Structure 1
């Protein structure tokens, strides 16, 4: 295992740094404000200074005392907490998520009679104190990441069952999956806020979180080298475009390939509430060189359980390539009109009377474009998905669904804007005039029948969008 390095001295790249990391200690003491955390033994500094007596209850006020010293030993081994994330807790989470989440229900349907084996694998898993304590901190401080990790583990084990792995291997892979993002506890608070712009130092820390997670797994001394490597590799890609080592092809282990794919599946379902299966399927088809082909086929089988009986293949047959282009052309036209509209905005437009309307539309359009780009269905990616259609005609259905949903969101934005700011229909300044032009142009686009959009307009709209 070749361990990548970083010039960022604050990023823990060796096991001895884990127990003294400022961000992790803050997370532990913050958890202790609402959950009982007690020193099971006296805590000392490396120089022999007693910092805490045995039996002392931890709280956030102790953070400053702990951070001023280099601690002797791993702090997790010296603390106990109520309601810890133990084997029983994880098994209960698997049962709950199988019933309460879209991805959990799909996994249950896909596995069928084998679904109970998910819980059996968890019950067979090695789960030392350090792993339990750290996951307890994650559940308390980063609950969404905790749920993502459990769902990711469920996907990973499901893929391992498809590969007919032994129960012992499945159990160790399950532990690696649960701990794959534990390095996030060593990140500065607020990184998960989408509005927060990461600093260069924070970006470096985020980029090496898989290294930190691997060191945590290593420090437990409970798992094999395969588990350590899999955690380290969970953001790598077969074409070398991943991180932290830009590892390629056969150099990435099977366990690492499973975790990288399970991570993507869980992340998509966590991010998209609308058509996650279709979005993910499209992304996997367009990035087939980044993931293991055999494992990806398993995922496509899983995703098919999300669709109603008359969806994927019948829908693909019902749409020609020209009709797909027409749907995309309408969406491209809306985006092109917005790009033209923004070029007319005056300086400091946000402060004008119509500024709130402009900010609202701008944020909605940015989010829409980002969502389309992430699913590989942005009009600018036309060359990519046309090539994909030639290789896999069934993917046409997914593109149609996603772009129709995007058109609905754009139309909803227009309707909301007109309802909340009716004064835009009688503009009184340059900004309002530009917004009114966009609204008029969009209504014209939405008023056209999809089948009536000429092929020439398809090319023109997507080419103009690319130039913008």
Structure 2
């Protein structure tokens, strides 16, 4: 294993993770973040050493058969090991396929949206539960899944949900049975790389600044390395894990690949991971469809139609809270998009754009922001900016769509801020582009915009309802 457990904490280019993997040392330090989580598990479960743990010189640190205890933590951190710590230990009665099926069954029974998606993507062959029941995990991955289960925040339940949805999406793409199982495995294991990242950056409610994403964006690659070295699975499983944050239009991470450069299983997991985050909220299928279609081209049409099919099965979704869930108003969002484009244009016209790499980065950024501006228009949000006398905000359904659309567009702007911050190569470039990054990222603490009642967006088209997004994305 060539350094799979070394956490990569800097980002210098889209290929940084691969370069770090190739340059890693044969002698491996134990990742302190993962080790700490294993120690937490060992306080309530039997974690035992299955082969002698040796340091790089061959000196025995822990004998086979010993129980892993907190007392070993400092000793293990202080030494480079001859073989990976993960391959030296196992947990008794850890997570297995039966535990995964139990969680999946509960999700299907208690979540109508999940059941609807299963029905909408049923194309024959083995059921989703049958695919899950056939999964096998070696000692290393069983321990990782057990750590996820004991780590709180419903991490294992989320992984099982993504696995279920990945199987559904793979079926929708018409993949072979073996490839459907690969997608399910990748969905289950998609976030194991996060076990090796400083928990401070993953804390619930933590709002990452653009430059802090450098600690997070490599977790798909870390996950791939772990699976390839420890899992004993086909390489396609690790590849799909590495691709689960990529986007069909090339705006994802860590490599920003696009189209068919992303494997079919990777595309399935990418969509599954995205919609899993909204299926436990109000109007889940409507949220999922809007999130997937709001920026055309982010995901393939075949996978978008799976959610549309589930919506048709479910029928109209009733109830739910349509109140704002934080973030900025429609007027502020419009003002911010316009300001971002103005700042970008000024930078392009200024001395900063003399650098070819800076100009390329600015061009790509402004193209993405213009896509967001068009989505603002196509979803009908412009009606809230140029309100007519007597307009009261619309019915509950429109208010819900407004809030969801605003939130999705805010997230897309933050994605662009992240990418700009990660791709600025020099200190001078960081200084020059800082105002643009800050405006892309900041949806809460900015000074209030000037009144916009008299301002008319130059690119505004006739207003539509947000339902038109479904047509726009098909």
TM range (shorter): 0.5 to 0.7
Aligned equivalent of 1:287: 295
> Is the contact made by 2:27 and 2:81 (CA closer than 8 Å) also made in structure 1?
no
CA distance in 2, matches of 1:13, 1:94: 39
Aligned equivalent of 1:83: 93
Question: Structure 2 residue aligned with 1:207, among 212, 217, 220?
Answer: 217
CA distance in 1, matches of 2:236, 2:18: 27
Deviation digits for residues 379-412 of structure 1 (CA, Å, limit 9, x no counterpart): 99641414999xxxxxxxxx96564248999xxx
> Is the contact made by 1:380 and 1:462 (CA closer than 8 Å) also made in structure 2?
no
Q: CA deviation at 1:228?
A: 2.3
Are 2:260 and 1:250 equivalent residues in the alignment? yes
Q: CA deviation at 1:245?
A: 0.6
Aligned equivalent of 2:105: 95
Choose 1 or 2 for highest CA Rg.
Answer: 1
Q: 1:170 to 1:332 in 2, by over 3 A?
A: closer
Aligned equivalent of 1:132: 142
Q: 1:307 to 1:60 in 2, by over 3 A?
A: farther
Structure 1-normalised TM-score?
A: 0.64
Are 2:19 and 1:4 equivalent residues in the alignment? no
Aligned equivalent of 2:399: 404
Q: Secondary structure at the match of 2:90?
A: strand
Are 2:158 and 1:148 equivalent residues in the alignment? yes
> Is the contact made by 1:285 and 1:388 (CA closer than 8 Å) also made in structure 2?
no
Are 2:229 and 1:234 equivalent residues in the alignment? no
Aligned equivalent of 2:63: 53
Q: CA deviation at 1:109?
A: 4.4
Q: Secondary structure at the match of 1:84?
A: coil
CA distance in 1, matches of 2:236, 2:210: 31
Deviation digits for residues 347-392 of structure 1 (CA, Å, limit 9, x no counterpart): xxxxxxxxxxxxxxxxxxxxxxxxxxxxxxx999641414999xxx
Deviation digits for residues 145-202 of structure 1 (CA, Å, limit 9, x no counterpart): 2211111110111122233322222222211211111100011123332443557885
> Is the contact made by 2:28 and 2:80 (CA closer than 8 Å) also made in structure 1?
no
Q: 1:15 to 1:161 in 2, by over 3 A?
A: farther
> Is the contact made by 1:187 and 1:202 (CA closer than 8 Å) also made in structure 2?
no
Are 2:269 and 1:275 equivalent residues in the alignment? no
Higher helix share: 1
> Is the contact made by 2:240 and 2:269 (CA closer than 8 Å) also made in structure 1?
yes
Aligned equivalent of 2:379: 385
Q: CA deviation at 1:7?
A: 11
Report matched runs for 1:437-448 at 5 Å.
none
CA distance in 1, matches of 2:278, 2:241: 19
CA distance in 2, matches of 1:4, 1:332: 33
Are 2:307 and 1:296 equivalent residues in the alignment? no
Q: 1:308 to 1:153 in 2, by over 3 A?
A: same
Structure 2-normalised TM-score?
A: 0.63
Aligned equivalent of 1:392: none
Q: CA deviation at 1:209?
A: 0.3
Q: 1:47 to 1:144 in 2, by over 3 A?
A: same
Deviation digits for residues 255-287 of structure 1 (CA, Å, limit 9, x no counterpart): 2111111111112225xx222222221122212
Q: CA deviation at 1:307?
A: 3.8
Unaligned runs of 5+ in 2: 1-12, 333-371, 384-393, 405-450, 461-474
CA distance in 1, matches of 2:380, 2:94: 51
Q: How many residues align?
A: 350
CA distance in 1, matches of 2:381, 2:27: 48
Aligned equivalent of 1:222: 232
Unaligned runs of 5+ in 1: 312-326, 338-377, 390-398, 410-456
Q: 1:336 to 1:253 in 2, by over 3 A?
A: closer
> Is the contact made by 2:191 and 2:219 (CA closer than 8 Å) also made in structure 1?
yes
Q: 1:12 to 1:126 in 2, by over 3 A?
A: farther
Deviation digits for residues 331-362 of structure 1 (CA, Å, limit 9, x no counterpart): 9997769xxxxxxxxxxxxxxxxxxxxxxxxx
Report matched runs for 1:423-438 at 5 Å.
none
